[in-house]
Chain A
Amino acid sequence: MPLEAFGPLSARGGGLRRRAVNVLAIGACVLAAAIILLPLALIVWHLAAKGLPAFRPSFFLHMPKPVGEAGGGMANAIVGTLILVGLGALIAVPVGVGTGVYLAEYGGGRMSAIVRYTADLLAGVPSIVVGVAAYGLVVVPMGRFSAIAGGVALGILMLPTIVRTTEEVVRLVPQSYRHAALALGAPRWRVLQSVVVPAAWSGIATAIMLALARAAGETAPLLFTALGNRFWSLALDQPMASLPVFIFDYARAPYDDWNRQAWTGALVLLLVIATISALMRITTRRVAGSR
């Protein structure tokens, strides 16, 4: 909306037309906010309405049942999601935090500029593309779909968030902390380990949790890495069930009962993500408070 749309600026005194345009334009903005928030509110409402009926303890404890048998749960998918996200974190946390600290502490040169840019680009890569790459990198050499392949895909997706957020929070640690530690005779690695990283820890924890929450909801990269599994399996070199893939399969199935369970699965997935986010807030607050 360019300025001209609202009429000439120089016209002094309130013409009726200008006042009408003013009211209309402001009304349009309020209306836009209402229109866009409506579907978002509807999604949350439908999740609760359609997901709650099957939301019982058995959903968390039982295995999926064959078609036609009532009941059944997604115990294996819930555990599978936790394992896959854990595997991803195992890869992404050391690399991501290390890189973030590197960028903040040693990041003046060309190498860090390239890494920073790469992390930004990685953040924009569609998750399905990461899935295709993980298929070629892990599934093909291993000869089968596996939880490890899924973990690698999720780890790659977590990296950019952890890298960039860690860099930010480490930069926020006041220079005077470093100067004080160096003045006491601490070598640089000791300054990082005992002063800078602890001071930034609450922020780093937030970054990790944020990445975990996002990875927990990813479906596309798991479709042809971890694949899915209707049975209980904790083996890392075998296909593994995950909540998002389960929801996808159940939502596409032509059975009403499965569709209902897909809604409940979506509600559980959202709860998992909300729990991670809540943990994030609690750790942030506690560490911030203890300092």
Chain B
Amino acid sequence: MTVMQQPGGMSGGRPQPSGLADVIDTILDKGLVLDAYVRVSLVGIELLTIDARVVIASVDTYLRFAEAVNRLDIGHDKETLPDLVGDMEEGGAKHKTKGALEAAGDKLREFAESQGGQGGERAGAGRRSRKNGDS
């Protein structure tokens, strides 16, 4: 007989080590599909969720990569002043475009990414606390 532990508790700040982005990736398109098992008693309910995003390389992707490489150059000694100014202007414009795209297309995920960043996640240490019960 196993006793399941209550997850977190509402008041004390629930442990969220994996961040909302990870949660979205996991529970929205994985797990058993109820419709495959239940038809008669199935109840449709409105879902606010978005589909987990899959990366498809596009012109936008390419321009983003090119822009990132341009940003790399900033701070290099050899760079002349006009180059620097040019780079920075481009950077600003690109950021704006990117922001608008993300806001329109993927608000929830954007929120998720920002949440994920503050979840105390570390390389190799981002796991949930494990209960060493029955093994």
> Is chain B a partner of chain A in the same complex?
no
